[in-house]
Amino acid sequence: MRTIQFREAVCEAMSEEMRKDEAIYLMGEEVAEYNGAYKASKGMLDEFGPKRVIDTPIAELGFAGIAVGSAMNGNRPIVEFMTFNFALVGIDQIINNAAKIRQMSGGQFNCPIVFRGPTASAGQLAATHSQAFESWYANCPGLKVVVPSNPYDAKGLLKAAIQDDDPVIFMESEQMYGDKGEVPEGEYTIPLGVADIKREGTDVTIVSFGKIIKEAYTAAEELAKEGISCEIIDIRTVRPLDYDAIIKSVKKTNRLVILEEAWPFGNVSTEITFRVQSEAFDYLDAPVQKINTADTPAPYSPELLKEWLPNSGDVVKAVKKVLYK
């Protein structure tokens, strides 16, 4: 199987779907002439032309609204935000229009849009460019939220998102666009709402998603040297969330650690904790452990940022806490 970069997987997913359906188009800042801020749309302007790969002004509220109206009239736009930090400017269109139009129209309109772009920290980008909003969007009925962690999942999930008849928030990472992974050349999709067991284990379940899951892999390798067997679940889709896969794993391992790159209050790991304690409390041999960022805005200093972000050492400590407490 060939090996390609994350950005190439994203580009292939969009291009393959656009070849099949002329109603699909891409719009966003620098997606056309510049081949995308992260080169995730490289070559697409040449293939599809300026009517289907559209450079927009720096006006997220405006082009998010254009996409909603376009989708209501039969098109299937893909909207790229240079970062989801900038999507806050257009969040009214996402929350109050895209997410609600099917219900508010009594099913007369659907809104097949993919809003995609980077989420969370990407190095020294400081407080206003390092935020993870997955839980914000997942809190809103009518939206699906996807956060892939590798090229294979990115392509399969993005194709499924583009084919979906409802709005999908597809969140990537600036620090993953260069990541390489095996991706088949043939057609495939990954259904939304299905988690994936990335590593089988028996002693503890570690649940994570997005780029921070790499810290779980590193921790699992270290713990294996001590004879501790970790099962790692990549939820892939935050909403719909595959509760069944998590609960099934917890019933096997009897312990749960959740790793998420987000502030600790009211996040995805909070929701998972509640659900597991509601449905599998009698199987737990220790309290659930959550690992999040520090409860502050992201710092700019590289040394402070290192302390602010969750890391493999935090995972090791949390695993040992649920094992030996």
Q: Where in the sequence numbering do the catalytic residues fall?
A: 60, 129
Q: In sequence order, which residues have a C-beta less than 8 Å from that of residue 220 and are 6 or more positions away?
A: 199, 201, 206, 230, 232, 315
Distance between CA 233 and CA 256 in Å, rounded? 11
Tokens, residue 158: 């993005």
Helices (H), the chain: 6-20, 44-48, 60-72, 91-92, 101-104, 134-138, 151-163, 213-224, 243-253, 268-279, 302-308, 312-324
Helices and strands: H and E segment counts in the chain? 12, 14
CB atoms within 10 A of CB 32: 22
Tokens, residue 298: 């992201």
Q: Report which of 215, 176, 87, 219 is spatially closest to residue 140, judged by C-alpha positions.
A: 87
Report the DSSP beta bridge partners of residue 117: 171
Alpha-carbon 38 to chain mean position: 17
Q: Report which of 108, 84, 317 is spatially closest to residue 223, judged by C-alpha positions.
A: 317
Distance between CA 79 and CA 18 in Å, rounded? 13
C-beta separation of 93 from 64 below 8 A? yes
Q: In sequence order, which residues have a C-beta less than 8 Å from that of residue 279 and are 6 or more positions away?
A: 243, 247
Distance between CA 321 and CA 288 in Å, rounded? 10
Q: Sign (positive/negative) of CA torsion 205, 264, 131, 115?
A: positive
